[in-house]
Amino acid sequence: MAGTFLFSELGELVLGRRTGRADAQQVTFFKSVGLAVQDAVAARVAMENAARLKLGQEVAW
């Protein structure tokens, strides 16, 4: 089944020039381009969301 694909740059979303997902059924795909600050922020958001949703498992280092 073919779908409609829309994309936005991360900066466009942050600045409010484009909107993100409209509902939970839409999929977000993050393509890292090697910019460390974007990678770090994406990881932080993923960790915060996982903690909020009580998903995942903490691993002792």
Q: What is the DSSP string of 8-33?
A: --HHHHHTTSS---SSTTS-------
- Whole-angstrom Cα distance, residue 13 to residue 49? 18
pLDDT of residue 55: 93
Indicate the pTM of the whole model.
0.50
pLDDT of residue 3: 65
pLDDT tens digits along 17-55:
988 888 888 887 777 777 888 888 888 999 999 999 999
Band of the pLDDT at 2, cuts 50, 70, 90? low
| pLDDT average, residue stretch 8-16 | 84
